[in-house]
Amino acid sequence: MTVTVVPANEATWDDLQTVLGTRGPAARCQCQRFKLQRRESFGSFPVEERAHRLRQQTDCGHPEAEATSGLVAYVDAEPAGWCAVEPRPAFTGLVRTMRVPWEGRDEDRTDESVWAVTCVFTRQGFRRQGVSRVLVRAAVDFARKRGARAIEGYPITTTDVITEELLVGTVGTFAAAGFTEVSRPTLRRAVMRLDLQELPPTSG
């Protein structure tokens, strides 16, 4: 099995939609839960509008694009996984209304040098093959090359979860990519972080 990962703008829109599927939480969400604007609710716009926004955010099919909002994984050339990764302030709903990233922490919510992984999803038929771990490792490299000084994830802490909860990834997936836990804001969610800047040289 060969897993390759490309920026979403280098994948086709059809491939990304193949990963998300036509039913289930990923298909319904279209990765917009953490993108809500002020005065918006998740149920206030239909799935077609969510898909339209995701297509704009990823710029799928345009490899020349300067920016994109995620990564697509392929297993032996078959579209298999998706990871949402961007500077943390780009996830407007995460910044404004979500409790998990901020509880008990003194963080500058406008700091664009801190990136976030908000979704890690593997298509049915390709799960339990390490695709999510490859995606998170690729997200680290993707963020580092674009100047990130740190990257965070907000995974589930228990295996007793529903499928929708798993969209944020698991603690084990992030730990395998070098992330360490920095807080446990709820019983079911952790904040995990990886600092990307090199430590300053020691004196003497």
| Rounded-to-integer distance, Cα 119 and Cα 165, Å | 10
Q: How much is the mean pLDDT over the chain?
A: 90
Residue 129 burial (CB count, 10 A): 15
pLDDT surpassing 50 at residue 191: yes
What's residue 202's pLDDT? 45
Which domain CATH number covers 163?
Answer: 3.40.630.30
Separation of alpha carbons 143 and 176, rounded Å = 17
pLDDT, tens digit (0-9, with 9 covering 90-100), for 87-132: 999 999 999 888 889 998 999 999 999 999 999 999 999 999 999 9
Question: Which pTM value belongs to this model?
Answer: 0.91
- Does the pLDDT at position 79 exceed 50? yes
179 in Cβ contact with 194 (< 8 Å): yes
Is position 185 within any domain? yes
Cβ burial 177-190 (10 Å sphere, 16+ → b, else e)? bebeeebebeeebb
Domain presence at residue 183: yes
Mean predicted confidence (pLDDT) in 137-154:
96
pLDDT, one tens digit per residue, over 18-39 is 999 999 999 999 999 999 888 8
Q: Per the domain annotation, does 134 fall within a domain?
A: yes
**Domain annotation covers residue 133:** yes
Predicted pLDDT of residue 59: 97
> How many domains are there within the chain?
1
Rounded to whole angstroms, how far apart are CA atoms 195 and 202? Answer: 18
Distance CA 169, CA 118 (A): 8
Tell me which residue of 100, 10, 93, 6 sits closest to 50, measured CA to CA.
93
Q: Are the CB atoms for 83 and 120 separated by under 8 Å?
A: yes
pLDDT for 97: 81
Residues 155, 168 contacting (CB under 8 angstroms)? yes
Helix boundaries (H) for 90-203: 92-96, 131-145, 171-176
State which residues form the domain around 110: 3-195
Stated as kind and residue range, the H or E segment containing 23 is none
